Structure 1
Amino acid sequence: EQEIKRLAQILTAPDGVKLINRNMHFHQMLTKGLEFSYEVNDETYTPHVFPIDWEHPENNDFLVVNQLPIEGRMSRRPDIVIYINGLPLIVFELKNPNNEQATVYDAYTQIQNYTYDISQLFNYNAFVVISDNVETKHGMPFADYDFFASWKSIDGRSVDNNRANTMRTLIEGLFPKDRLLNYIRNFIVFLEEGSKITKIGAKYHQFFGVNFAVNEAIRATRPDGDRKIGVMYHTTGSGKSLSMLFFAGILSRHHEMENPSIVIQVDRNDLDEQLHDTFVQGKSYIGHVHHAENTEQLRTLLRGEAGQIIFSTIEKFRKKEGETRHPVLSERRNIVVIADEAHRTQAGFAGGFAAQLRYA
């Protein structure tokens, strides 16, 4: 029991020179837990500790606090802070509805001021919500205003485009306890490009679409599953690369999938650069990414046992001389193939690349 205080200090003092580095380090401890060593009677114990019980949302302590004064460079009072297990993870900034001039952008500006005036609060922040009592948006405190978005669905099936409903849709669509924990754990990613770090959170279509796809993947890979997951359609600019990253990350951690291998299959020789870059930059979320350089390397990777993420172009699933069809590389049920631009090379199982991929 006397070690709890020391553990709390580790959790509440994340490393990092800049605010975003501290926020990233804290998010890693929050979502992945940490190894904690302590001694009792000359015996050393090293449990893996999670500050949140992710699997059982109701086991956690949720607290909504209104107008909490916080001392920093200046004294500030954010409108609403949501604590989970004593950690201030979400901040709401609400503009006065009686002030006709106040806009949702003013709420955004206020959040930017907070990150300077009471920066310690944002060591722990998962995301923020801004509202002017008509329009409500969510986003990352470090992001430009253009990246803030409304949450437009409660059930992921019907979309509500009425701006005046955006607060209710956000609360009912994202803030049920199980959904909120799912979002914080699985739908926030830090992309690292050299020393530059960008924190990104999913929009509603990614959250619902990926969750539906994950459920289908689990169903399809069960012993009685039909091995077919489905198609997820994206319009240009709607974050396809990130949806694929979230999908791969959740599957790779899901206990029912038992450490799957995920093959990301693109159909252009130059690889889909943006997609590959997103996965490489998201290593803190997804881990190491393999890139199959040739047919031989692809076969070796797929014959391997443990879960891994493999990028390949489809024509690497080719027969070698003397082979009438592709040899079976693995009998495992938990190899998931994500086809990017699936319409071009997936048609027909008469013997094209798609057929060879199936045989493999």
Structure 2
Amino acid sequence: MIVFVARDIAGGSSSYEIINQYISNKTGNGINSADRRFDVTLLINGLPMIHIELKTQNHTYMDAYTQIKKYTREGHFHGLFSCVQMFVVSNGSTTRYFAPAAATDLNGKFLTRWSNEDNQPVEDLQSFAEQVLSIPMGHKMVAHFSVLDYAHRRLLLMRPYQIHALEAVYESAIARQSGFVWHTTGSGKTITAYKVCQRLLWIPSVDHTVYIVDRRDLDDQAKDTFASYSRFENFTVEGTDNTTELITALANKKTDSYCDYCTETRSSYRCLCEEIPWQRSEASSGIAFGNDRRRMPSINFR
């Protein structure tokens, strides 16, 4: 039985509903147990996917966050509401979003503020709803811009700059353009790279993507991270230790979808490009990731 199709956005098998003031019955007989009234929930195919808690202007948005944490601790997000993939809290003028987690793992310091493609912050609820919660973006937030980290048993939601980078890469690949993505150290380059590899495989003419790193420590990080993120995906992640292994692996990939990663220097990459009989398709492109803007413009894929 199929209940949710990630790519059926604003059509196909997807239907959308909004409910408010849903009453979640108390989960026990303790002194602190009580019925709770949820503010607004967005449903996709009848499943609650995005939950919103609101406060008035004379309250801070953190009061709404504290309320969600309390509801989580009391066990109200169970049953169908365990399907919630994204929380939104707002007092009308300040809005944040975050991924669900156990009450002990929620941290108010890691709520995310939305920003537009020009990196301008979006604070008020009306603008946030128009840019993030409307369809198709609301559907894409939970279906395309989330990552299930199996190793750490947690759900991750991409940050705005990662989302804008992913969308730009995809559009560039369709147009057969190459480029680079610049993220600062510690800002989530690996997540962005993983989602790029996954997203490019959606293009019908793309059978595999290659993620190349130039240091062994990055290789270990990519290997563990990609394996964890792709645990329940419909493509295979494989690693190679050198150019020869990568060439052999690519030559043997015929029909299945793969994401390969390899540790190589730039000189080895040039050798790789010369040895592989690349078939240029409409989606062929090269994307580089880095945290040093001075070096990035010198990287060119042809």
Q: TM-score, normalised by structure 1?
A: 0.69
Secondary structure of the residue that 2:181 maps to in structure 1?
A: coil
C-alpha separation between the residues in 2 aligned to 1:152 and 1:348? 28
The alignment status of 1:86 with 2:65, answered yes or no, reads no
Q: Give the length in aligned residue pairs.
A: 281
Unaligned runs of 5+ in 1: 1-35, 37-48, 221-227
Counterpart of 2:36?
76
Structure 1 residues 141 and 248: CA distance shift in structure 2, 3 A: same
Unaligned runs of 5+ in 2: 28-33
Residue in structure 2 matching 1:127, options 75, 86, 89: 86
Counterpart of 2:144?
186
Q: Is the Cα–Cα contact under 8 Å of residues 15 and 44 in structure 2 kept in the other structure?
A: yes
Structure 1 residues 140 and 348: CA distance shift in structure 2, 3 A: closer
Counterpart of 2:120?
160
Deviation at 1:272, TM superposition (A): 4.2
Residue in structure 1 matching 2:107, options 144, 158, 172: 144
Write 1 or 2 for the structure with the bigger share of helix: 1
Secondary structure of the residue that 1:54 maps to in structure 2?
A: coil
Q: Is the Cα–Cα contact under 8 Å of residues 54 and 181 in structure 1 kept in the other structure?
A: no
Structure 1 residues 70 and 290: CA distance shift in structure 2, 3 A: same
RMSD: 2.9
Larger radius of gyration: 1
What does 1:273-352 align with in structure 2 at a 5 Å threshold?
Answer: 273-284=220-231, 286=233, 287-304=235-252, 305-306=254-255, 307-315=257-265, 316-317=268-269, 326-331=274-279, 333=281, 337-341=286-290, 347=298
Tell me whether 310-319 or 116-125 shows the greater mean CA deviation: 310-319
C-alpha separation between the residues in 2 aligned to 1:53 and 1:347? 37
Structure 1 residues 63 and 319: CA distance shift in structure 2, 3 A: closer
Q: Is the Cα–Cα contact under 8 Å of residues 111 and 141 in structure 1 kept in the other structure?
A: no
Q: TM-score, normalised by structure 2?
A: 0.81
C-alpha separation between the residues in 1 aligned to 2:168 and 2:121? 21
Q: Is the Cα–Cα contact under 8 Å of residues 238 and 259 in structure 2 kept in the other structure?
A: yes
Deviation at 1:319, TM superposition (A): 5.2
Q: Is the Cα–Cα contact under 8 Å of residues 179 and 287 in structure 2 kept in the other structure?
A: no
C-alpha separation between the residues in 2 aligned to 1:229 and 1:348? 10
C-alpha separation between the residues in 2 aligned to 1:295 and 1:207? 31
Q: Deviations over 1:248-291 (max 9, x none)?
A: 11221x2x333431111112244444333321220236543211
The alignment status of 1:261 with 2:208, answered yes or no, reads yes
C-alpha separation between the residues in 2 aligned to 1:80 and 1:345? 44
Structure 1 residues 269 and 51: CA distance shift in structure 2, 3 A: closer
Secondary structure of the residue that 1:119 maps to in structure 2?
A: coil
Q: Is the Cα–Cα contact under 8 Å of residues 90 and 96 in structure 2 kept in the other structure?
A: yes
Secondary structure of the residue that 1:281 maps to in structure 2?
A: helix
Structure 1 residues 292 and 214: CA distance shift in structure 2, 3 A: same
Q: Relative contact order (C-alpha < 8 Å, sep 6+): which is higher?
A: 2
